[in-house]
Amino acid sequence: MRPTRSTPRGSRRGSPQLRLRVGFVVIAMALSVFGARLVQLQGLDPNSYAEMAAAEGLVEVDLPAARGDILDRNGEPLADSVAGLMVVADPQMTADRAPELAKFLYKRLHVDYASTLAKLREQGSRFEYIARRVPSTRATQVVDAAAEAGFKGLDTRRDPLRDYPAGDVAANLVGFMGTDEPLAGLERTFDEQLAGTDGSAKYEVGGGNRIPLGDNTVTEPVDGQDLHTTIDLDLQWYTQRVLRQTVESSRAESGFAVVMDTRTGELLAIADDPTFDSNAPTESPKADLGSRAMQDVYEPGSVEKVLTLSSLIDLGEVTPRTRIQVPSQLDDGGTHPIHDWFSHGTIRLTLAGVIAKSSNIGTVLASKRFEDGQLRSYLESFGLGRRTDIGVRGETPGILPDDSLWTPQTQDRIAFGQSLSVNAVQMAAAVNTIANDGVRISPSLIEGSATTEDGAVVGTDHATKHRVISISAARQTAHMMERVVDPDVGVAPAAAVPGYRVAGKTGTAQRVGAECGCYDGTFTVSFAGFAPADDPRFTIYVVVQNPGNGGGGGSVAGPAFAKIMSYALRRYAVPPTGTPPSRLPVEW
């Protein structure tokens, strides 16, 4: 039996000193390799490696802010933002098949082929926008279809899409968005408030993918602020439908209507016809994209008579019972004698009768009692000749002739609503002054306060008031206006609202042709009024341009006024006052 020999434990694995020496050798060798690599990167070949790093790239993308909503007075959206996507491309992955992919995108997204091709081939870029504000479903379908067709490098990013849930309701006020910016209406006027501020994100990519632990910097977007209007969506819808029916049934060119809260000056509806759908503005003629109620310049006709005669009452020159002998025509020294719209011999009317029958001659005879400059001063105080500045782009100030052009013959025609021009909101606010006991309150379209693109601050917080005529003069004028809708004596019984006292005035004015610069044989017809006449709640003004059926303000605009007023009174639960209507005499 061979004897056993014990082996020391340390001799099998080596001594600690040996292991330590081997470890130092290994570390030294590794450091040598890293050092050599560093010399190569920083000294021998820096450019090629910098290019490689850039090729992998730092991508910067926008993070779009959600655009603020445009809301009616009850918080219902006239314009809002819904889920949308942008389609983007990585040119390093799309360049090889750029022509085929550009054609593919042109067919499915209707983007420009040439510019898309250039983006798909953009050298040194890892991120290019192909299409903005695409509906989510559509964008996803396009990107998925591209992948199925073998195309690489397309992706989507969040990009809120503008939507107009009410379609054509208030479209002429709200406007619409273009591809990258608002092009019209409140969208453009208040873009700074609505738009917010886009954010951005920067991150590293490698091999076409985001590097999880790479550089990652995010600046969050700041969403836009909502814009609250005074518009009542339901009342706006109804006003537009009545206006459309009126324009179509009278075979007219166009029309517009204004509904105003008598007490506050807030505009509850501003309707235009023809109009357009804000979701598809390119499908309508350019002429229909603005607001005719704010941009059209026209002569108001006989509606203006209530401004003339209320001013005379305020001066103490006349009363509703003042007697006027009205001849068949009046030669005032102008080119043509003045006539009434109806043929008659010499008739005897009170001032109330002049309003009820809408006599041009009677109005001119009464206006002879003005001293120089008085009528013009009153009309300026009523707000004529200057913009209302409610926040609608392109508003006309109208035309109130300068003092130097104010001849006696000019004043005669201005007294009954010719030889001056207005816009619809401007004229509605003037008539509302009579409804509001002689105090003009500036009209408002925006609730609270907002700043326009021109830096003007507008809204109900900035509404102004000033007295134009006395309470007594306003109420006497309202009593005269009630006789206009009286079926026994007035010219507009179709403007009456059953159960309510209504004060109103018709208007028929010759129009100036754009080509000849002269009266061309066409007419503007209108009706303005308020109710209840003895405690006014709403002022409504309806204007129809060139009705083809030959109707006037009472027969064309009057019925539309009655429908809209009836709806407004019911909607806001305004009860009849229960008081007897005016019975002022119209003849003597």
Residues serving a catalytic function are 302
Q: What is the pLDDT of residue 1?
A: 45
Q: Is the dihedral of CA 361, 366, 371, 377 positive or negative?
A: negative
Q: Is the pLDDT of residue 529 over 50?
A: yes
Rg (CA), the chain: 37
**Greatest Cα-to-Cα distance within the chain, rounded to the nearest angstrom:** 163
What value does the mean pLDDT of the chain take? 89
% residues pLDDT > 90 (the chain): 74
Q: What is the pLDDT of residue 36?
A: 56
Q: What is the pLDDT of residue 7?
A: 47
Q: Is the pLDDT of residue 38 over 70?
A: no
Burial of 575 (0-12, 13-18, 19+ CB in 10 A): exposed
For residue 503, which of 558, 556, 570 has the smallest C-alpha distance?
Answer: 558
Instruction: Provide the 8-state DSSP code for 334.
Output: S
DSSP symbols for 80-98: EEE-EEEEEE-HHHHGGGH
Query: Which residues are 544's β-sheet partners?
Result: 255, 525
Question: Long-range CB contacts (< 8 A, 24+ apart) of 455-459?
Answer: 456/389, 456/391, 458/389, 458/390, 458/391, 459/391
Q: What is the pLDDT of residue 268?
A: 98
Spatial contact of 324 and 365, defined as CB atoms under 8 Å apart:
yes
Reported as a pLDDT band with limits 50, 70 and 90, residue 31 is low
| Identity of residue 469 | I
Burial of 304 (0-12, 13-18, 19+ CB in 10 A): buried
DSSP symbols for 347-374: EEEEHHHHHHHT-HHHHHHHHTTPPTTH
Q: What is the pLDDT of residue 2?
A: 46
Reported as a pLDDT band with limits 50, 70 and 90, residue 10 is very low
Reported as a pLDDT band with limits 50, 70 and 90, residue 347 is very high
Spatial contact of 542 and 572, defined as CB atoms under 8 Å apart:
no
pLDDT tens, 311-321? Answer: 999 999 999 99
DSSP symbols for 387-427: ---SS-TT----B---GGG--HHHHHHHHTT-S-BB-HHHH
User: What is the C-alpha separation between 87 and 140, in angstroms, rounded?
Assistant: 9
Instruction: Provide the 8-state DSSP code for 222.
Output: B
Question: How is residue 154 written in tokens?
Answer: 């397309």
Which of 196-205, 275-284, 551-560 shows the lowest per-residue confidence on average (mean pLDDT)? 196-205
Q: What is the pLDDT of residue 56?
A: 54
Average pLDDT rounded to a whole number, residues 455-477: 97
For residue 170, which of 392, 434, 419 has the smallest C-alpha distance?
Answer: 392
H or E segment at 545?
strand 538-545
| Alpha helix positions (H), 110-196 | 113-120, 136-148, 171-174, 185-189, 191-195
User: What is the C-alpha separation between 307 and 378, in angstroms, rounded?
Assistant: 8
Q: What is the pLDDT of residue 21?
A: 67
Average pLDDT rounded to a whole number, residues 552-574: 98
Q: Is 378 helix (H, G, I), strand (E, B) or coil?
A: helix
Average pLDDT rounded to a whole number, residues 456-467: 97
Mode of pairing for the β-strands spanning 519-531 and 538-545: antiparallel
User: What is the C-alpha separation between 338 and 391, in angstroms, rounded?
Assistant: 39
User: What is the C-alpha separation between 327 and 346, in angstroms, rounded?
Assistant: 4
User: What is the C-alpha separation between 2 and 4, in angstroms, rounded?
Assistant: 6
Question: How is residue 147 written in tokens?
Answer: 């992948």
pLDDT tens, 81-138? Answer: 887 888 999 999 999 999 999 999 999 999 999 999 999 999 888 889 899 888 888 9
C-alpha distance across the termini of the chain, in Å: 161
- 441 phi and psi, to 5 degrees? -110, 130
Q: What is the pLDDT of residue 266?
A: 98
For 54, residues 6+ apart whose C-beta sits below 8 A from its C-beta are 124
User: What is the C-alpha separation between 422 and 549, in angstroms, rounded?
Assistant: 24
Q: What is the pLDDT of residue 52?
A: 45
pLDDT tens, 224-278? Answer: 999 999 999 999 999 999 999 999 999 999 999 999 999 999 999 999 999 999 9
Reported as a pLDDT band with limits 50, 70 and 90, residue 18 is low
Q: What is the pLDDT of residue 449?
A: 97
For residue 575, which of 528, 534, 539 has the smallest C-alpha distance?
Answer: 534
Whether pTM > 0.75 for this model: the answer is yes
Give CA torsion, residues 277, 281, 285, 286, to 10 deg. Answer: 120
Q: What is the pLDDT of residue 164?
A: 94
Q: What is the pLDDT of residue 522?
A: 93
Query: Which residues are 412's β-sheet partners?
Result: none
Reported as a pLDDT band with limits 50, 70 and 90, residue 217 is confident
Give the number of residues written for the chain: 588
User: What is the C-alpha separation between 570 and 499, in angstroms, rounded?
Assistant: 12
More confident site: 480 or 60:
480
Question: How is residue 281 written in tokens?
Answer: 């503005």
Q: Is the pLDDT of residue 37 over 60?
A: no
Spatial contact of 185 and 68, defined as CB atoms under 8 Å apart:
no
